[in-house]
Structure 1
Amino acid sequence: QFAVAGRLVRKSLKTKDKRVAQMRALQMVEREERKAVGLADPFEEHRERPLAEHVTDFEVHLAARGVSKAHQDDRMLCLREYLAATKARTLVGLDFVEAQRWLGELAAGPLSARSVNKRLQALRQFGRWLVQARRHTHNPFEGLAMRNEATDRRRVRRAFTDDELDALLDAARRRPLEEGLRKRPRSGLSKQVEAKFRRVGECRAFLYAFAAGTGLRRGELAGLTWADVDAERATVTVRASVAKSKRMAELPLRSDLAATLADQATRVRAHGLGTGPRDRVFPGPLFPTHGTVARDLAYAGLDGEDDQGRVLDLHSLRVTFISRLSAAGVHPRTTQALARHAKIDLTMRVYTDLRLLDLRGAVDRAGRSLRRTAASSEATAC
């Protein structure tokens, strides 16, 4: 115990070593004296708190911001992974060089540049929050360099050609019934079971066609309700709660897809599922898993990965949608808007499959234009 400005202060020194106790006592006296005259360090208390408490408060901050549960869990997982690797216990343990070393080790391992950058972004966000919340004097992770994702893409998707997409839709329609019949070659299937298999196949084929015709992501398709689709206006609304960007968007819907929404509703009801405003257009029992998509691709005679390592999966239908817009000569800015990308570079570089573009036709058209310009110049000179 010690006295500061006539006030008796009692604090545990948490040591049995007399010399250490004396040093800590002097530090406490100095700190209390600074507080008494209004010169206390506002960050001192936070520096001494366990880092786990700051992390918990940061998680509360993310939840209060309204970020998705998946995003919140992902950020916290990355952050706790760093803390476990570096064994930091207080804010003083958050070190730029240590973080740089940890990220470098991850980059040298099996993780892609994108996965490493995801962890880096979690650290930066935590550091920014510490500064904004007046818990730290600076962001210890400011200046950490992002990896080049363009040169280290581990999963490159390609677009479906027209023939491949037709084959996938046909396989999705046929596979449930044909596989069911093969499992019971003698007794066959009842009419009720046969109708069920047909519905499952038609629902799956419609989902693939809808994904290729709208460019919606997997989570957006899974969260799509009947209130989000308007067959008369031929529009589909992506609610902010299911959109990756957390921004609501109303997109045009192809007339053929709008016209078949009623058929999808009939199939869903026949399956014993609801079609109210809040019910799903593609309900869980009818939504294909990653394995289901892979089996549909195999049934269609399509390889999940080509000789260049590019893959076909459900998200490839989004690549197909965007690539077809570019192939049709749609202005890049319009394509970006329909893709709902923040940066046009992502639309053009990652989501446009050059195989679908008429490169030779573009060169020929440019050549004809140059010849016309040259002829016009010669006529003017004469």
Structure 2
Amino acid sequence: MLFKPRAKNSIPARATRSTKRGVQYASWINRQNKKVTAEIHTDDEGDEYVYIECATWYARWKDSEGRRIQKNTECVDKSAANAVLARWRGRAEKVRAGYIRAADEHQDRRKSNLIDTVLNEYAASLKQTGRTDRHIDYIKYVVVEIKTTANIHRIVDLTRRHIEVYLAGLQDKGVGARTRNMHKALINGFCVFALRHGYLESNPAANIETANQALDRRHVRRALTDTEITQLLDAAEARPIENFLYGNVGAVDVAKVKPGTLDELRRIGQERRLVYETLLTTAARWGELRAVTVADCVLDGNAPHIRLQATATKNRQADTVPLTVSLAKKLKAWAKTNGRIGKARLFNMGVSGLRALTADLMFANIPVETDEGVIDIHALRHTAATRLARAGVPVSVAQRVLRHSDPKLTMSLYSHLGVLDTTAAVESLPAWDAAKAKAKRKA
């Protein structure tokens, strides 16, 4: 039931008195500029007082254990108070039915917390799961941008409309569909956390339309051909010393160059070639290979491989990538020649290898961008996937090599197969009359 409790108060000094049917009343204007009229009572000591109703409605009901509960709905409107009471009674029914715990029955899920407070809790939770600081900072950036765009501060004020307006604003700014979908996923993760921890009654980011990335591809990569791979590897090895000898103004007298300088340039070229070979063979990501140590490499036996550290992989799980026997021999010789053992990094790789790759492509006369797409570091992974497809490797096996969670991702990389590849596949089909001709030969 709903009711408004009354409190005993003294008669305000500004009140006016009136008498109706022999009963005295006091009238005055309250702080909300509303007229209040109350009956005047007198206690045993002769002091006068009035009873004033509370401004909000209170609810009284029985919880799941039969206890009588009385609580302020904090609603001035009676219909709104009825809705709150219905929710409280419904929670008691869910406890009896076994849908929620009894300990959660009396928790007020409508916590009036600031978005910043919830965001800090979410960041701390992600930190415990091993997410990188870069990833957490980006989530904070997205949530703060939504808060600023919507001009809200409390988590309970976040609505679906706010999120849709934010995503539409990104589109108006020319942000690609893939980035918008990523922002939507990050917002959804934040809202799911808030829902599970009682800050929201429902997820405002649920069921928001996903942008069509196929219609808005901003960065199309292409795969290298086998001929281009050979040219790239040769260029990567030769470019450091070639640039030193012939890339400067004026001729360089090799006789005056210290032997150690030339040896170091040759070592840099060999290392760069091995980096590309390893990326093209294992389909590893740049950051994953950058974190590999010599101890992570199993270079002997019939199944050489590299163990990838969980801190470096995209899904934060340790994994392995296979090596060919010939590449394993090259890596073993590389580590031995350069005195790298144990926890020493296998390669000296920078945070990004794009600048060096671009220079190597130009040195090899390979166009960085064509009508088919661009070549960047991640395109080497696309190239590895395409070579697996051309070799007839089943998608399920390629998915394991590429460490994709969804085979659709693997199939998307197989799209680099060209007309020559598909033509060869069709040519391998038997002729229409092949079965008939075979039957005649048997006859």
Separation in structure 1 between the aligned mates of residue 210 and residue 356 of structure 2, nearest angstrom: 35
Alignment match, 2:333: 263
Separation in structure 2 between the aligned mates of residue 148 and residue 324 of structure 1, nearest angstrom: 28
AA partner of residue 253 (structure 1): L
Separation in structure 2 between the aligned mates of residue 105 and residue 377 of structure 1, nearest angstrom: 67
Deviations 1:69-116 (A, max 9, x none): 332222222222222222221123211012112212212332111100
- Higher relative contact order (Cα pairs below 8 Å, separated by 6+ residues): 1
User: 1:193 Cα deviation (Å)?
Assistant: 0.7
Alignment match, 2:212: 148
Separation in structure 2 between the aligned mates of residue 207 and residue 21 of structure 1, nearest angstrom: 79
Q: Are the equivalent residues in 2 in contact too, given 1:304–1:311 (CA < 8 A)?
A: yes
User: 1:268 Cα deviation (Å)?
Assistant: 4.0
User: 1:378 Cα deviation (Å)?
Assistant: 7.3
- In structure 2, the CA distance between the partners of 1:130 and 1:373, relative to structure 1 (3 Å rule), is farther
Alignment match, 1:302: 366
Alignment match, 2:201: 137
Kindly indicate whether residue 154 of structure 2 is the aligned counterpart of residue 67 of structure 1: no
Deviations 1:153-186 (A, max 9, x none): 2111111111111111111111111111232724
Which residue of 191, 197, 200 maps to 2:265? 197
Note the 1:1-382 alignment, pairs <5 A: 18-19=31-32, 34=71, 42-44=108-110, 46=111, 48-182=112-246, 183=248, 185-188=251-254, 189-233=257-301, 234-266=304-336, 268-269=338-339, 275-284=340-349, 289-308=353-372, 310-355=373-418, 358-368=421-431, 370-375=432-437
AA partner of residue 372 (structure 1): A
**Cα RMSD (Å) of the superposition?**
3.0
Separation in structure 2 between the aligned mates of residue 177 and residue 99 of structure 1, nearest angstrom: 54
Separation in structure 1 between the aligned mates of residue 352 and residue 182 of structure 2, nearest angstrom: 27
Identity %: 25
- In structure 2, the CA distance between the partners of 1:120 and 1:378, relative to structure 1 (3 Å rule), is farther
User: 1:128 Cα deviation (Å)?
Assistant: 0.7
Separation in structure 1 between the aligned mates of residue 55 and residue 312 of structure 2, nearest angstrom: 53
User: 1:55 Cα deviation (Å)?
Assistant: 1.0
SS of 2:292's partner is: coil
- In structure 2, the CA distance between the partners of 1:186 and 1:318, relative to structure 1 (3 Å rule), is closer
Separation in structure 1 between the aligned mates of residue 273 and residue 170 of structure 2, nearest angstrom: 40
Task: Give ranges in structure 2 of 5+ residues lacking alignment.
Answer: 8-29, 36-52, 60-68, 74-84, 89-105
SS of 1:315's partner is: helix
AA partner of residue 326 (structure 1): A
Structure with higher helix content: 1
SS of 2:190's partner is: helix
Deviations 1:320-374 (A, max 9, x none): 1111111011111111111111111111123541128621221111143x43334
SS of 2:334's partner is: helix
Task: Give ranges in structure 1 of 5+ residues lacking alignment.
Answer: 7-16, 270-274
- In structure 2, the CA distance between the partners of 1:186 and 1:241, relative to structure 1 (3 Å rule), is closer
Separation in structure 2 between the aligned mates of residue 66 and residue 374 of structure 1, nearest angstrom: 63
- In structure 2, the CA distance between the partners of 1:253 and 1:33, relative to structure 1 (3 Å rule), is same
SS of 2:198's partner is: coil
- In structure 2, the CA distance between the partners of 1:211 and 1:20, relative to structure 1 (3 Å rule), is farther
Alignment match, 1:13: none
> Is the deviation greater in 167-176 or in 353-362?
353-362
Structure 1 residue runs of 4 or more that deviate by more than 6 Å after TM superposition: 38-41, 377-380
Separation in structure 2 between the aligned mates of residue 20 and residue 108 of structure 1, nearest angstrom: 47
- Could you state the TM-score of these two structures normalised by the residue count of structure 1? 0.84
AA partner of residue 220 (structure 2): V
Report how many residues are paired: 355
- Could you state the TM-score of these two structures normalised by the residue count of structure 2? 0.73
